[in-house]
Amino acid sequence: MTKIKNTLKRILERVTYLLNKNKRVSIRTKIFVFVGLFVILNIMINLIIVKFSINDIYLTLEKRELKKEYKLIKENYGNEDNLINILYEANNNGIKIKVLDSNYNILYTIFNDKMSTRFTELDLMILNRLGNNESEIVTLKNYEKSGYDLHLVGKINDNYVILSTSIESLKKDARTTVIILIITSLFTFAILTVLSYFISRLFSEKINEIKEVTEDISNLKFSKKIEINSNDELGDLFDNVNKMSQKLQDSIKALENANLKLKNDLIEKEKQEKLRRQLIANISHEFKTPLTIISGYSQLMMDEVKGKENKENLEMIISESERLSGLVYEFLELSKLESGNVKLNNTRVDINELIKKELKKLSVRIQDKNISVKESYAKDAIIIIDEKQVTRVIENILTNAIKFCKNEMEIKIRTYVKEDYLVYEVYNSGSNIAEKEIENIFNSYYKDKSGRNKDGTGLGLTIVRAIVDLYNGKCEVVNTKKGVKFIIYLKK
C-alpha cells in the first residue's frame, strides 16, 4: 500500500511539474486533470485487483459452499428424506454428490449428465487424498474425463462423501465480473469527468472573482464585491474578503483625511515658521545699524567723558552693544542657512588641518584653563565642502567643549571614517546633559535648564546643525561616564 501511495505521489508531482513547466495553467485545468487522473488510477487499481484476485475470491467462495453442503450432509446423514433433498438442491446449484460405503459402493447419488453414477478411478484418486483427515479439499486441473475439478472428500462414520463442482464455471463467472466492472468503470469515469469539469469550472469562476476583487483592492478600488451564494467555508472566505475590502476602504479614507489635515497643518506651520524667520531677519537687520552707531559713538565719547563711573558706564554700553551686534549677526547667518539663501563655495578640504588651525587659535584659552588635549586623526580626512562653513562647525564645537570642560579638564578630538561619513568627534570631561534636554540641544534659541548655556545665545549649536544639514549630515550628543561627546557626521 505504501509503495502504491508513493507511486501515485510521484505521478502527481510529475504531472504538476509538466503543467507548470512551459506555460501558465489555470486552476480549473489543474483540478480537471487531477480529478481525471485520480479516477483513471482508481479504475486501473480496481481492475488490477480484480484481474489478479477474482479467481481466488470465487474459488474461496466455492470451497466455502462445498464445506457448507458437507456440513448439512453430516447433520442429516441418518435421515434419508432430508439427505435426498440436500442432494437434489446441491445438484441444482452445480454440486454433484456421491455417498459411498466402506467398500466404495454407491449409496446415494444424483447425476444427470455424462458423469458416471458408478465408482470410478477419479473417485479412488480423490479418496486417496483424504488420508487420515476427516475431510479434504482436492483441486484437479483440467480433468477432462469428468469436467469437475474441485472436490471435497469427507468421511462420515465408515462411509465416504465426495462433493464435486466445476472451476471452469468459476472462470466464466470471473470473466463476466471483470467485463461488468470495466463497463461500470467506464460509465463511472464518464460521469465523474463531467462532474469534475463542472466542479472545476465552479471553483475557477469563484477564484477568478476573488482575483478580480483583490486586484481592485491592490489598486485601491473598493467598489467591486464578491457575491455570496453559499453557506460554507467558501462563503466565509468571500465574506471575509468583502469585509477586508470595506475596512481597507474606511481606513484609507480616514488616513487620507488625516493626511490632508496634517498637510494643511504643516503648510500652515511652514508659513508661520517662514514668517517668524523673516520677522527675525528683518528685526535683526534693523538692529544692526543702530547697534553699530551706538557702539561707535560710545567709543568716541570715551575720550571726552570725565569721571571713572561715567567711563565704566560707557564701557558697559560698548560691551553690550557689541554683544547684541554679535547676536544680530548670528540671527542673520542662521536665517540665511535655514532659508537656503547662503551661497556655498565647495572645495576639497582637509578637516584635520582645519581642526589643527582652530586649536592653535584657541590655544590661549586652553592653556588658561589648563586643559589636556588628546588628538586622533583619520588618514584620509579630505571632503568636498565649504571651508568657511566647516570652520564654523569645528570652532563652535571646540569652543563649546572648552567652555564646559570641568573635573579632569580633558578634551579628546577624533576624526574617522564610518560608512559614507567622515566623523568629527569632540569629548570634554564635565557634567552630563540631562537626557530629556539632549533632543533639544541643537534647536533654535534653546537653553537647557541645567544652565549649561547661560552665557550664550543658544544659536551656536543650531548654526552647526543648519550647516551640517546643508550637506545631508547628522549631529549627535552622547553622555559618557565622565563627560559629554559631540559627534558630527559629514557626508563624504
Instruction: Give the pLDDT confidence of 164-181 residue by residue, as tens digits.
Output: 887 766 666 667 777 777
pLDDT (0 to 100) of residue 360: 92
Closest CA to 348 of 311, 300, 402, 385: 385
CATH number belonging to domain 345-491: 3.30.565.10
Q: How many whole angstroms separate alpha carbon 262 and alpha carbon 273?
A: 16
pLDDT average, residue stretch 173-192: 75
Judging by DSSP bridges, how do beta strands 346-350 and 372-376 pair with one another? unpaired
CATH class of 225-342: mainly alpha
pLDDT tens-digit profile of 131-157?
888 888 888 765 444 445 788 988 888
Q: How many whole angstroms separate alpha carbon 10 and alpha carbon 6?
A: 6
Residues β-bridged to residue 347 = 385
Judge whether residue 45 has pLDDT over 80: no
Q: Please count the other Cβ atoms lying within 10 Å of the Cβ belonging to residue 115.
A: 17
**Domain range summary for the chain, segments of one domain joined by +:** 2-54+172-214, 78-169, 225-342, 345-491
Q: How many whole angstroms separate alpha carbon 432 and alpha carbon 484?
A: 6
Question: pLDDT exceeding 70 applies to what percent of the chain?
Answer: 66
Element (H, E) at 379: none
Q: Which residues, including other chains, have CB under 8 Å from residue 484's CB and lie 6 or more apart? A: 404, 427, 428, 430, 431, 432, 433, 477, 478
Position with higher pLDDT, 453 vs 250? 250
pLDDT tens-digit profile of 113-133?
444 557 777 788 888 888 888
Judge whether residue 489 has pLDDT over 90: yes
pLDDT (0 to 100) of residue 423: 93
**In 3-state terms, what secondary structure has residue 364?**
helix
pLDDT (0 to 100) of residue 425: 94
pLDDT average, residue stretch 347-372: 92
Biggest CA-to-CA distance, the chain: 175
Question: Cell 565647495 belongs to which residue?
Answer: 346
Ranges 149-158, 359-368, 396-405, 459-468: which has the least confidence: 459-468
The structure's pTM equals 0.42
Q: How many whole angstroms separate alpha carbon 96 and alpha carbon 90?
A: 7
Ranges 141-145, 182-186, 368-372: which has the least confidence: 141-145
Q: Please count the other Cβ atoms lying within 10 Å of the Cβ belonging to residue 340.
A: 9
Q: Which residues, including other chains, have CB under 8 Å from residue 480's CB and lie 6 or more apart? A: 427, 432
pLDDT (0 to 100) of residue 145: 45
Q: How many whole angstroms separate alpha carbon 77 and alpha carbon 99?
A: 10
Q: How many whole angstroms separate alpha carbon 241 and alpha carbon 225?
A: 8
In CATH terms, the fold of domain 78-169 is Beta-Lactamase (3.30.450)
Position with higher pLDDT, 298 vs 363? 363
pLDDT tens-digit profile of 93-112?
888 888 888 888 888 887 65
